[in-house]
Structure 1
Amino acid sequence: MRCRLAAALLLAAVARGVAPVAAVEIPDGYRLDHYRAPTPDRVPGAVTLDTAGIAALLERERPVLIDTTPALRTGETDFSGEWLVAQERRDLPGSLWLPNIGYGSLDATMERYFRQNLEQATGGDRERAVVFYCYLDCWMSWNAAKRAAAWGWRRVYWYPEGTDGWAAAGRPLTRAEPVPLIVE
């Protein structure tokens, strides 16, 4: 779907005499700002899925689905583990919502939160399929997928269309609650 949309936009731009937008380059590290922007077409160490691809994966097995959409912490000095959610978030059914794990730079608390929840969700099995997503044009899922692959997970998938693509395909979304930020 994303490729067809990109092709249609390119054809429309050429027809109007507008120069096409260059492909987004893969950064050496992680994206550190402007997280809602066009992303590259792939993540090093991960497989990119479109909506049909993730639907097929879900039919074959039970991958861990991780939503990386950001949220706000309640109080930085005396953090209770709760997140401030400005508006209702809807996810692919069965997903874990791990807010803020997709920032380009993670402090020690957020890195532990990400690692502990990834370990727990996969049972420590680095061969277990893990799918990262957010919205369309969201670097948070890109960064998180790249980081999981760098940590040694071998079946990392990235769904760049995110909840936007899932909903556009007429697939159901369910109300999401962020996993509390409790680290040991």
Structure 2
Amino acid sequence: MKAGAALVLVVALTVLAQPAPASAQSETVLEPDTYRGEPYNAPVPATLAGARVVDADEALTLHAEGVPFIDVHPRTEKPAGLPEGTYWREPPHDTIPGAIWLWNTGYDRLNDAEQARLTDGLTEASGGDMAAPLVIFCRADCWMSWNAARRAVEMGYTGIIWFPGGTDAWTQALGDDLVAAIPVDD
């Protein structure tokens, strides 16, 4: 085999061995029959039964129309076992302007407080209208938003809109337009 042909073959094999971009991988991920657990940061499906799926352009339009946005990104809690007198500051979480941060509501299993936070938060955001549009998001390739949106659909909400690109797609579309999130209290 000539050196030039061998180089082309090596380059072709190298390119084929590279993982597909997240957006390409997302299209091949199937919806599971149940909620998705660890790892939460992984390619997500392109669909969610019972919900509308939107990209950043559609999310921007919905935001401009005043549709409520629900952020389900987890909250970093104070580590257990810190020595007495240790100061601990919760790391900031940035979100889409005006979003309601229903933290820790995208896990595969929710404790009673997390389930209540999601239930109460959706009721408040929708004004009690089960058909009201609500955009649920986290970050790109984050199963937490998929889980929370699925849970909302299963609760009977018919206007659920899943924004799988989340804050990453929002930032890519607008630049640094995120604001400090304020967690909803228990």
What is the root-mean-square deviation of aligned Cα atoms in Å?
2.5
SS in 2 for 1:17: helix
The 1-side partners of 2:66 and 2:95 are apart by 16
Q: Secondary structure at the match of 1:157?
A: strand
Q: How does 1:91-170 map to 2 (within 5 A)?
A: 91-170=95-174
Quick one: distance in 2 between partners of 1:177 and 1:114?
A: 15
Identify the range of structure 1 (136-145 vs 49-58) with the bigger mean alpha-carbon deviation.
49-58
Identity across the alignment (%): 35
Residue equivalent to 2:53:
48
Deviations 1:111-143 (A, max 9, x none): 112101111121111121111111111001000
Would you say the 8 A contact 1:134–1:162 is kept in 2? Answer: yes
| CA distance in 2: counterparts of 1:85 and 1:55, whole angstroms | 32
How far off its partner does 1:87 sit? 2.1
Larger radius of gyration: 2
> What code does the residue aligned with 1:103 have?
Y
Q: Structure 1: which 4+ aligned runs deviate by more than 6 Å?
A: none
Deviation at 1:159, TM superposition (A): 0.7
Partners of 1:25 and 1:19 lie apart in 2 by 21
The equivalent residue for 2:38 is: 33
SS across alignment from 1:131: strand
The whole-number CA distance in structure 2 between the counterparts of 1:87 and 1:101 is 18
Q: Number of aligned pairs? A: 162
Matched residue of 1:112: which SS?
A: helix
Between 166-175 and 123-132, report the one with greater CA deviation: 166-175
Shift of the 16–180 alpha-carbon distance from structure 1 to 2, 3 Å rule, reads: same
Which structure 2 segments of 5+ residues have no match? 1-11, 81-87
Corresponding letter in the other structure for 1:146: R
| TM-score for both structures, normalised by structure 2 | 0.78
Unaligned segments of structure 1, at least 5 residues: 1-12, 77-83
User: Is 1:14–1:20's contact at 8 Å kept on the other side of the alignment?
Assistant: no
